[in-house]
Amino acid sequence: MTDLEGSTGSTQRPGSQSAPASGGLQSAIANLGVPAAPQKPLVVEAHDSNGALIAGVYGYLSVGWLVVQMLWVHEAHRKQGHARTVLAQLEEQALADGVHRARLDLVGNSAAVAFYERRGYSIYTTLPVTLPNGEEDINYFLKKDLINLDLEQSESSVA
């Protein structure tokens, strides 16, 4: 059994290498030769004619993937194509940075799963989850090959 303490203390198993006193886990990982996965944040926002935020999507690029973290559309502006537009712009930014794959996960929202599937995402696995209120639900993990999107757009613009 291993004893664990908060970030102000340290507990070490006999025979294990000591992590640097300052720098914590990141320094220990660097000392082991494990490169940190760089992340580049990406944000796309849509605003109305008055400058108010009506939709947005946040993600980041890491180890060859666009990881979509959150997509939001103001309730009064839903079903008008804003989600589709900001997601497409986020994917275009990823392609411009040489990233050809996207992934995301979401819990129990079948409408959102359908939205992403219409955008070319596919479910690659699911996991059962227990929500804070004790209810059981499903965590969906989806992915998309953006390079095919890029080729399809190029072919349609030539035709």
List pLDDT tens digits, range 115-158.
Answer: 999 999 999 999 999 999 999 999 999 999 998 654 455 455 45
Q: Are residues 69 and 132 in the same domain?
A: yes
Of 15-24, 63-72, 77-86, the range with the lowest mean pLDDT is 15-24
Domains identified in the chain, total number: 2
Q: Are residues 79 and 110 in the same domain?
A: yes
Q: Are residues 75 and 133 in the same domain?
A: yes
Band the pLDDT of 3: cuts 50, 70, 90.
very low
CATH number (domain holding residue 78): 3.40.630.30
pLDDT by residue (tens digit) across 72-127? 999 999 999 999 999 999 999 999 999 999 999 999 889 999 999 999 999 999 99
Q: What are the φ/ψ torsions at residue 111 (nearest 5 degrees)?
A: -65, -40
Q: Are residues 123 and 68 in the same domain?
A: yes
Mean pLDDT of 39-51: 95
Identify the domain containing residue 43 by its residue range: 39-158
Q: Are residues 82 and 20 in the same domain?
A: no
Q: Is 86 helix (H, G, I), strand (E, B) or coil?
A: helix
**Residue 12 confidence (pLDDT) above 60:** no
State the pLDDT at residue 97.
95
State the pLDDT at residue 24.
73
**Residue 21 confidence (pLDDT) above 80:** no
Q: Are residues 50 and 28 in the same domain?
A: no
Q: Are residues 57 and 68 in the same domain?
A: yes
Q: Are residues 52 and 81 in the same domain?
A: yes
Cα–Cα distance, 159 to 140 (Å, whole number): 36
Q: Are residues 32 and 65 in the same domain?
A: no
State the pLDDT at residue 155.
52
State the pLDDT at residue 31.
74
Q: Using H for helix, E for strand and C for coil, what is the string for 98-120?
A: CCCEEEEEEECCHHHHHHHHHCC
Mean pLDDT of 10-31: 55
The per-residue b/e assignment along 2-25, b for 16 or more CB within 10 angstroms, e otherwise, is eeeeeeeeeeeeeeeeebeeeeee
Q: Are residues 32 and 43 in the same domain?
A: no
Q: Are residues 7 and 24 in the same domain?
A: yes
State the pLDDT at residue 119.
96
DSSP 146: H
Cα–Cα distance, 68 to 44 (Å, whole number): 11
Q: Are residues 2 and 64 in the same domain?
A: no
Measured CA distances, 84 to 64, 81, 91, 133, 141 (Å): 22, 5, 11, 31, 19
